[in-house]
Amino acid sequence: MHLHQIWILLDDNFTKTEMCYGVLGCFSINEFFDPIYGPVTLKPQSPEDIDVTYRLYTAENKFKPDVLRANMTREDIANTHFDPMKPSKFIIHGYGDSFDDMEWMGDIKDLFMKLVPEEFNIFGVDWSKGAETNYMQAVANTRVVGALTAHFINKLVQFENARIDNIHFIGFNLGAYISSYVGTYQKIGRLTGLDPAGPDFYKDNPKSRLDPTDATYVEVLHTDGGNLIIEGLGLEDAVGHDDYYPNGGAQQPGCDFTKFINGASLPEVEVVSDITSLNHICNHQRSLQLFLVNPKTLDECQFVGYECKDYNDFLAGKCGDCGQDNSKCAVFGFLGNSDPVYGRFSALQENRAKSTNARRKLYFKTDESVPYCLFHYQLTIRFDRSMARSATGFINMELNGSMRNLTDIEMEALLEKEIESFQPGHNYTKLVTSIKSLGSVETIKLSWKFEGVQLFDPTTLFSFPKLKIANIEVKYMSNIDPE
């Protein structure tokens, strides 16, 4: 009899599809269930179990935070260093993580303090008790953390007259979705998603994923994207106003650990699995490292993303134009519209996103190590219309700049390649990058090697085609004039 009663109690709790937590409201699992993309949907833990804390840092307390919770009183916030006249930054970790001043969240806080020390209220959001559990439970807990944080912000507005449009959320992994949930309660000013988690978020459901409606401006950085967990830890889909895909948004330079395997012998399956996991972790965390690049160390190099059909077209040099109104490119940077150099441009791109609600996929390449920024150049060769006939082969170029030279730039036209032949009157493009600036490109050296006798064109047996070039254009792509 007693065992039967216990079973009834457990069964009733297990089959409950909605949990209600006072002022936070109710959380139903039905609207997030999907038989393919979300077959396991758990109920979130209680606010008391998750125990979210908000650690406030300002110029007056850079290293000793004021610790607050969502149930704070007017007196609690009044006794902190919070300044409602200043913008606020909320930094949120993801699955299996916690706030640690010695780790990346502390690094972001410290860099803000270094670059603009008097500018911001910075909140480190710690929901580690809800994140350091199994992944599916952590996913469920993000909704409660989002609701708690929205409630916390409501109190900042109610008690201190803080402005919602002055709030910027920076979320990594599941932290990006917590930021999104906050935005569903009240539209915040800016949201930066750093490689939002992919598993359990593949379905295009605006209730569970980031969306441009979550903030006045939503920017997302994808570094380990995929549509299956075996493809990546992050999300491949574009979900913001501006979605940046460095190196195509998946495999990042320096993160291919398979090259360290001894090719002479086949490794154990477990080793391959571990190395694949290392690749994904490295790719995933690269979003943090790119965000943390100090703009003052970049030597006039910016992470300028260009709108393009896909990454292959970008690599082919087909997308190197910002457009007359700069609507085809955007700068990804730590300070955004607070940057003293390109902040005005960043503000313009945000305003454009607000007015048009445009959604853009933007691409750029990076190096494998700090400071990551590569100098991008678009080469365009136009062949003269008077050229006698098309030609196949190799063009080798050297760019001679006022500071440095870039050699061994090759453009191919072969029957088995994307470019089958160089045609009279046509333009051909190529993207080239350098780890250091060339300065002003002053001269270009070019050599041509014919290759490919064509069986159906007997003239190629006795004569080589001659190339006639109408013009060559070199466009620097990695710095946007703020004016």
Q: Which residue has the tokens 């006039």?
A: 300
Which amino acid does the sequence have at 367? D
Residue 426's Cβ-count burial label (10 Å; 0-12, 13-18, 19+) is: middle
CB atoms within 10 A of CB 445: 12
* Complete DSSP assignment for 138-172: HHHHHHHHHHHHHHHHHHHHHHH---GGGEEEEEE
Pairing outcome for strands 375-383 and 303-307: unpaired
Q: How far apart are the first and last CA of the chain?
A: 79
214 is in an annotated binding site: yes
Question: Torsions phi, psi of 139, nearest 5?
Answer: -60, -45
211 is in an annotated binding site: yes
Q: Which residue has the tokens 């001269």?
A: 443
Local structure of 453: helix, strand or coil: coil
CA distances from 262 to 259, 268, 421 (A): 8, 12, 40
55 is in an annotated binding site: no
Inter-residue contact 346 to 295 (CB < 8 Å): no
CA distance 118 to 231: 42
Q: Report H helices in 186-334.
A: 269-291, 311-315
Which helix (DSSP H) or strand (DSSP E) does residue 397 occupy?
A: strand 393-401
Residue 194's Cβ-count burial label (10 Å; 0-12, 13-18, 19+) is: buried
Residue 235: name the closest of 221, 214, 246, 216 by CA: 221
CA distances from 483 to 96, 196, 247, 328, 344 (A): 43, 33, 28, 16, 8
Structure tokens at 251: 């495999």
CB atoms within 10 A of CB 133: 19
CA distance 372 to 368: 6
Local structure of 376: helix, strand or coil: strand
Annotated binding site for Ca(2+): 209, 211, 214
- Known binding-site positions: 209, 211, 214
